[in-house]
């Protein structure tokens, strides 16, 4: 059955107890866009046990094929079992590209799988490109987001990358046009040296920041605790939550739980205001398509102005108090 897989791009879509993670579907949408110009097909790969319904759900997002690797040893995530299950179909079908989400699971599985396949891996990508010849270009932020590197993956087979959550839009389900291939990998308990014996889960507890309709985020340019209080006052006036970049957290102006970006929270507010922050990719990767984005920065060349709907150029110490005063005046009966 593995030999019948025709797709050249494979996206490993995570599922947890039958629930698909958003990042896998986000990557699926981008993979379909990349595959069109070169005439390739796209496959989604799901691993677990009892995957029939999950496989049909993935198929609705426009992939050509869904490969469901179904086995009791794959019920709970185990990197050894997952790598063993993936190796044989990959070596048989020889896809050109394999993509995973840069989640805790993906960043564990990706390098292990790449090592088993003796290929390279571009990690924590914020964009992907495909050359007319089928070469994968991975866009990766570096030096705190001040540099965006376009990395050409070695033309080993396959080319691999992990992709940050939230950098691609979520595709919409459509009428399925592909097929589902269900196979049971040749696994045995001898393939793993440990077993998951119990999983305890509680109800999700999104932070106030992740659930907020309004987020006001401050950056390094705030300059200190006095400036940070202005960020908090603006958020309070808007009944919003306070977010931060890593430098603000490192300086202890904000708590680590307030950090937005690569190593922090993902937010999707109706209104986002970035105060005295540059707007590099490590922060903006945590901002998922706000309805309105406003930037306040005294540097007219700051990258944040390329990502906002409204840009206010000037000293935040003058602009933010004026905004607070106007908001309070408007909200006063």
Q: Tell me the CATH number at 267.
A: 3.40.50.1220
Q: Are residues 181 and 37 in the same domain?
A: yes
Question: Rounded to an integer, what distance in angstroms lies between the CA atom of residue 277 and that of residue 295?
Answer: 8
Q: Are residues 17 and 165 in the same domain?
A: yes
CB atoms within 10 A of CB 203: 4
Q: Are residues 36 and 112 in the same domain?
A: yes
Q: Closest Cα to residue 104, out of 210, 14, 194?
A: 14
Question: Rounded to an integer, what distance in angstroms lies between the CA atom of residue 219 and that of residue 274?
Answer: 8
Considering the entire predicted model, what is its pTM? 0.76
Our count of domains for the chain comes to 2
Walk along the chain (333 residues) and give the pLDDT tens digit of each residue. Answer: 444 788 999 999 999 888 899 899 999 999 999 999 999 999 999 999 999 899 999 999 999 999 999 999 999 999 999 999 999 999 999 999 999 999 889 999 999 999 999 999 999 888 999 999 899 999 887 655 556 677 776 667 899 999 988 788 888 887 778 899 999 999 888 878 887 888 777 665 556 788 899 999 999 999 999 999 999 999 999 999 999 998 999 999 999 889 998 778 888 899 999 999 988 877 887 887 899 999 999 999 998 999 899 999 999 999 999 999 999 888 766
Q: Are residues 180 and 229 in the same domain?
A: no
Q: Are residues 253 and 154 in the same domain?
A: no
């Amino acid at each position: 059955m593995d030999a019948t897989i025709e797709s050249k791009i494979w996206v490993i879509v995570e599922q947890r107890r039958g629930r698909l993670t958003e990042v896998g579907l986000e990557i699926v949408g981008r993979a379909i866009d990349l595959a069109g110009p070169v005439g390739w097909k796209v496959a989604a790969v799901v691993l677990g046990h009892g995957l029939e319904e999950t496989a049909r759900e993935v198929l609705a997002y426009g992939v050509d094929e869904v490969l469901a690797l179904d086995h009791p040893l794959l019920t709970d995530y185990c990197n050894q079992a997952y790598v063993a299950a993936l190796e044989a179909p990959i070596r048989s079908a020889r896809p050109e590209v394999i993509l995973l989400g840069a989640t805790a699971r993906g960043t564990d599985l990706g390098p292990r799988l790449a090592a088993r396949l003796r290929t390279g891996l571009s990690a924590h990508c914020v964009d992907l490109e495909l050359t007319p010849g089928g070469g994968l270009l991975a866009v990766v932020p570096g030096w705190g987001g001040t540099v965006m590197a376009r990395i050409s993956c070695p033309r080993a087979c396959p080319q691999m990358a992990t992709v940050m959550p939230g950098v691609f839009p979520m595709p919409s389900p459509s009428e399925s046009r592909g097929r589902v291939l269900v196979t049971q990998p040749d696994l045995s308990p001898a393939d793993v040296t440990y077993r998951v014996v119990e999983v305890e889960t509680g109800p999700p507890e999104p932070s106030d920041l992740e659930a907020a309709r309004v987020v006001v985020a401050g950056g390094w340019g705030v300059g200190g605790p006095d400036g940070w209080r202005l960020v908090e006052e603006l958020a309070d006036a808007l009944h919003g939550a306070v977010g931060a970049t890593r430098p603000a957290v490192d300086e202890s102006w904000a708590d680590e739980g307030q950090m937005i970006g690569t190593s922090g929270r993902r937010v999707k507010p109706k209104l986002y205001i970035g105060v005295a922050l540059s707007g590099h990719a490590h922060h903006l990767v945590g901002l998922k398509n706000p309805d309105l984005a406003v930037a306040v920065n005294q540097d007219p060349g700051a990258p944040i102005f390329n990502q906002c709907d409204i840009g206010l150029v000037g000293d935040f110490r003058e602009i933010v108090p004026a905004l607070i005063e106007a908001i309070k005046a408007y909200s006063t009966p």
